[in-house]
Homo-oligomer: A and B are copies of this chain.
Amino acid sequence: MTGKASNESQSSKHIVIALGGNAILKSHQRGIAEEQLENIRITCEQILDMIANGHNIIITHGNGPQVGNLLIQQEGAHSKVPAMPMDICGAMSQGQIGYMLEQVLHNLLQAKGINRDVLTVVTQVMVNSDDPAFRNPTKPVGPFYDAETKERYEREKNYIIKDVKPGNHRPFRRVVPSPNPLRILEAKALKRLVDAGIIIIASGGGGIPVAMDSKGNYHGVEAVIDKDLAGEKLAEAVIADLLLILTDVEKVFLNFGTPKQRALDLVRLEKAKAYQREGHFSPGSMGPKVEACLRFLEFGGERAIITSLDKASSALEGKTGTHFIP
C-alpha cells in the first residue's frame, strides 16, 4: 500500500526529521547530561541507516525539558545574576541540544566509516506580532508556582499564569503564546548547506521566535513555536522531499481512544483534511503534527510520515507509519 516510498528509498532525498521530546529526554528522567547523551545515541542509531543510504538529513527537535530546566535555573539564581528572556533561553537550548546531537551523530557515523559533516545552526523563526495567539497564550513553560508566587509574578513581571494542575500544592504555571511560524530566517544558508551534503541540525525547539517591528528590525518575542509546524517551515526552506515526524506512536488513529479507533496507513491530502475537519486529531498532541504534514503537501512536498522513533527506518521503507501523500 505504501510501496511508493519503498521503491524510491534508493535515490537520494532531502528528509527533514522532527524528533519528539522523548528522543532526547524521557519524561521520567531528571535530565543529567549522560541520560540525554544516551537517549540521543539511541535516537541517532535510527537515523544512521538513512544517511548510509545517501539521504540528506535535516534534523529538528523539541526543547521543552531543556528550556524548562533553564527557566528554573534562571529564576532560582535571579538574585545573583540576571535572568535571560525566553528567546535567549531558546537560543541556549539550541546550542546545548544541537551540540549533543552533532557530536553523537558524528561519532556514530565515524564508527560506520561514513564521512559526512554535521552542523548545528542557530535558527530564528519569524512570527506575526499580530498573530491571534498573542491574545490567547496557551503554552505552559517553566516552573510550577504556588498561589503567592503566581500573584507576585503577575504583578512584577506581567506574566500570564494559569491553573494547569488543579488541586496541587503548586498548580500554577506561566503560559506563553504559540504563534504560527511564517519563515525560517536562515533559510538560504540552510538550503546551501543541505545541497552540499552537510547534515543539518536546525530550528531546535520550534526555532527562536522573532517578530519584525515597523522599522523592519527583528526582535525576540516571549513565545514558543510548535516544533512540528516550525519543522515544516524548515522542510520548505530546504525544499525537502520528505517530512518525517517521529513521536511516541507508530501510527495516527481515527477516533482515538474509542472502540471505533482505527490506525491510518496511507492518506491522501484531501481525505486527511476531511478527517481533520471532523476533529479526529487532538489540538494538544496529534493535531499540529497532522497539520504540519498537510501544510508540507500543500507546499509541494512528496510525502509526510508520522511514526514512532524506533520505526523510523521501516516507515521510510513503507512498512509502517502513517503516510500522507498529495
Contacts and interface: CB of A to CB of B under 8 A. Distances in A.
B73 A98 contact: no
B186 A119 contact: yes
B96 A91 contact: yes
Interface string A109-147: 011000001011110100000000000000000010000
A89 to B, nearest CB: 8
Given A95-B92, A102-B124, A117-B188, A80 B76 contact: yes
A192 to B, nearest CB: 6
Given A33-B85, A186-B117, A189-B193, A122 B95 contact: yes
Interface string A80-99: 11101101100111111011
Interface of A: 30-33, 69-70, 72-74, 76-77, 80-82, 84-85, 87-88, 91-96, 98-100, 102-103, 106-107, 110-111, 117, 119-122, 124, 143, 185-186, 188-189, 192-193, 196, 198, 208, 210, 215-220
A119 B88 contact: no
Nearest to A80: B72
Contacts of A192: 192-193, 196, 198
A297 to B, nearest CB: 28
A93 to B, nearest CB: 7
A145 B95 CA distance: 28
Nearest to A91: B99
Contacts of A219: 103
A212 to B, nearest CB: 10
B103 A84 contact: no
B217 A110 contact: yes
28 contacts: A30-B81, A30-B82, A31-B82, A32-B82, A33-B85, A69-B82, A70-B92, A72-B81, A73-B74, A76-B76, A76-B77, A87-B99, A91-B98, A92-B96, A95-B96, A95-B98, A99-B220, A102-B124, A106-B185, A111-B217, A117-B186, A119-B122, A119-B186, A120-B122, A121-B121, A121-B122, A189-B193, A193-B193
A188 B117 CA distance: 8
Nearest to A204: B95
Contacts of A210: 103
Given A87-B99, A120-B122, A110 B31 contact: no
Nearest to A89: B96
Given A91-B95, A95-B98, 13 more contacts: A30-B82, A33-B84, A77-B77, A84-B96, A88-B99, A91-B99, A95-B122, A98-B122, A103-B220, A107-B216, A110-B216, A110-B217, A119-B186
